[in-house]
Amino acid sequence: MHRRTLIVSGLTAIATIVTGCLAAPTDSQGPTFTIDTAESHMLSSQELIAVVGLKKDGTGEGAPTIRWELNGGEYTQATEQQFVIPEDMSETTVSVFLNSPTEVVPEKIERSRVKLLRSGASDSAWVEAPLQTDE
C-alpha cells in the first residue's frame, strides 16, 4: 500500500514541476502596451479597418492582441488580431481589418471601440474608435 502512495506522490510532484516549467515562460516581464489613438474607416460597404496607435513601455519584442468591436444596433461584430512589435519600436500604428458578412450602414453604427487583450492580466479599458466619414 505504501508503494502505491509513494508512486502517486512522485507522479504528482513530477506533474507539478513540469506544469510550473511550462508556465514559467508565459510569466516573462516583456513590454506592455497602451492604445494611444484609434479610429475606424469604411473601405467598402462590407470592409472596414480600425487604425490603432500603440505605445510600448519596456524593452524587447512584444506581441499585443487587439480586439475591435463594431456595434450596429441589432448586432455586434468583433475581430481580434495579434501583432509583433520589434524591439527597436517604442510606438507604432497598426490596422485591424473586419470583413462584414452583411452591408454596413455608417448611420447605423452606434459604437466602434478597441481594447488590448492581455493574457494573465486584466484587459485594457475600451478606447473609442469613431467611424470616420467623408462628410
* DSSP symbols for 96-114: EEEE-SS---GGG--EEEE
* CATH number, position 38: 2.60.40.150
Residue 7, helix vs strand vs coil: helix
In a domain, 81, yes or no: yes
Kindly state whether residue 72 falls inside one of the protein's structural domains. yes
- Neighbour count for residue 129 (Cβ, 10 Å): 25
Q: Phi/psi of residue 126, each to 5°?
A: -65, 145
- On whether residue 12 sits in a domain, the answer given is no
Evaluate whether residue 100 is within a structural domain: yes
Cell numbers given for 51: 487604425
- Of 56-60, 69-73, 113-117, which range is least confident? 69-73
Work out the mean pLDDT of the chain and round it to a whole number: 85
Q: For residue range 61-113, what is the model confidence (pLDDT) as tens digits? A: 999 999 999 998 788 999 999 999 999 999 999 999 999 988 999 999 999 99
Containing domain of residue 57, as a range? 30-132
Q: Grid coordinates representing 100?
A: 462584414
Direct distance between the N- and C-terminal alpha carbons of the chain, in angstroms, rounded to an integer: 80
Let me know if residue 117 belongs to a domain: yes
pTM higher than 0.85 for the full model?
A: no
- Under the banding of pLDDT at 50, 70 and 90, the label for residue 23 is very low
| Residues 91, 53 contacting (CB under 8 angstroms) | yes
Sheet holding 111-117, edge to edge: 76-82, 65-71, 111-117, 127-128
Number of domains in the chain: 1
Question: What whole-number distance in Å separates Cα of residue 32 and Cα of residue 59?
Answer: 9
pLDDT for 30 = 85
Asked whether the beta carbons of 32 and 58 are under 8 A apart, the reply is yes
